A and B are shown apart, each in its own frame.
Chain A
């Protein structure tokens, strides 16, 4: 993708970043044009979430799962999902999570046990 195209399509670049390159990209834009791009950190904390027992059509085989907003370390709030969460009580606000490469479209996070690697 040319630099010029990238500047006009931050969604495409963001998607390519997490789907193909294994990284979350942050953008700063002015008047709709991307003026800066950088890699965001992979770890962060849960801000708000829900456990969806009833899935969307694209996530039919994934229910139940969590849909979550995550504040990344070093800045940036992103939306993502966490597979394999059956009960709200399994997660808590402020809990540490980490971005992981996914087998599905979407930004996937995993819980980080305190002091350990992602589950």
Chain B
């Protein structure tokens, strides 16, 4: 297996895009290629993610992006894995490059849903759940994660104030990120006053619907030469899955796919959770960050919520979590989210993260979940 690097990464500001998804995807791809210093002709494949492209009445985005990039002869494919689509794309790129089938690959994720109303957008999101057993009984994504939050609270006594601390922390980080959808801090009082969407989750427990695009350039170390930016060495790229329907899982206080993907990733990387300096985790809802930190092995079950409320996961804490602001504040453009997490780690490794720069950046982990854990990616990165 060849040592494989992330040599370029770029994102736009999440939120509401005036341009189409294909234009935004092309723009961030160009920027990521520019950052990488790689001759675009070295790109052997483009892995595109655009799970809800049908909302723009557009499928088959790869050739459109490659044509706009001046690479019409480069093959492409769309990778869909709900909210973990572009980390699944990164995994494909890694497998092909590390395995020697490609020298370099482009990973692009993009989503645009802001032209739909909230109800229509919620309906698109719900397509990632089980239509026969979940959506048909009235579940929304807040409802599904609320059910997990309810079970977690039943077992571990997780409080609203502890969930609120996740939202307050991620908004504080997002306020320092020029690419974040929400660049404003919130207080715990604001959180507690926000309306209940699906008990126990409130409005400020939920990530927003965001438009956005992110791109990552992956290349084999041996073809790079002198990189123009500090690369991320991909030490692990692992994917896993869980029983799709929550009703068929014995335990509702975590996501099985996170546990199995993390175990595989730490095995690949040859390090344990204690080695990780900071992490971007999938906080589509505050409870998801709590569960992720436990399932990834950073905290024992039932301990992450209190640790977060005590400040351990803040920028100055022992394990900074979601310095970008996370899905909660940076935003959640479904198919861009996984690649966007890698952009944040790239910026942090290159010490370009400004006011949200974390102190230590030797090792980082990215965790990206599809739906309620039906799929999951864990990537681990280090310096050269």
Contacts and interface: CB of A to CB of B under 8 A. Distances in A.
Given A54-B197, A79-B247, A93-B154, A11 B143 contact: no
Interface string B132-149: 111111111011101111
Contacts of A69: 147, 246-247, 252
B72 interface: no
B143 A79 contact: no
Interface residues of A, number: 33
A102 to B, nearest CB: 10
Interface in B114-148: 119-120, 122-123, 126, 132-140, 142-144, 146-148
Contacts of B374: none
B312 interface: no
A18 B132 CA distance: 12
Interface string A67-88: 1110000000111110000011
B247 A78 contact: yes
Given A57-B122, A65-B138, A51 B247 contact: no
A70 to B, nearest CB: 9
A49 B154 CA distance: 11
Contacts of A59: 138
Nearest to B142: A54
Given A48-B147, A48-B151, A106-B138, A53 B198 contact: yes
B75 interface: no
Contacts of A87: 199
Interface in B187-201: 195-201
Contact of A51 (B148, B199, B245): B199
A107 B200 contact: no
A104 to B, nearest CB: 9
Contacts of B143: 50, 52, 56, 67
Contact of A80 (B137, B146, B248): B137
A48 B198 contact: no
Given A48-B252, A88-B200, A79 B134 contact: yes
A15 interface: yes
A113 interface: no
Main secondary structure of the interface of B (DSSP, over half): helix
B150 interface: yes
B247 A52 contact: no
Contact of A56 (B132, B139, B151): B139
Nearest to B129: A56
A56 B198 contact: no
Contacts of A48: 147-148, 150-151, 154, 252
A67 B147 contact: yes
A62 B147 CA distance: 18
Nearest to B202: A53
A56 B246 contact: no
A59 B65 CA distance: 38
B138 A62 contact: yes
A4 interface: no
B151 A77 contact: no
A50 B136 contact: no
Given A69-B246, A78-B247, A52 B138 contact: yes
Contacts of B201: 50
A69 B248 CA distance: 10
B198 A54 contact: yes
B147 A49 contact: yes
Contacts of B195: 53
Interface in B65-98: none
Interface string B234-251: 000000000001111000
Interface of A: 11, 14-15, 47-60, 62, 65, 67-69, 77-81, 87-88, 93, 105-107
Interface of B: 119-120, 122-123, 126, 132-140, 142-144, 146-151, 154, 195-201, 245-248, 252
22 contacts: A11-B132, A48-B147, A48-B150, A51-B198, A52-B138, A52-B198, A53-B197, A53-B198, A54-B197, A55-B138, A56-B122, A57-B119, A58-B138, A62-B138, A67-B146, A67-B147, A68-B147, A69-B147, A78-B247, A79-B139, A106-B136, A107-B137
Given A48-B147, A67-B198, 10 more contacts: A14-B132, A48-B154, A50-B149, A52-B142, A52-B198, A53-B195, A67-B143, A79-B137, A80-B137, A88-B199
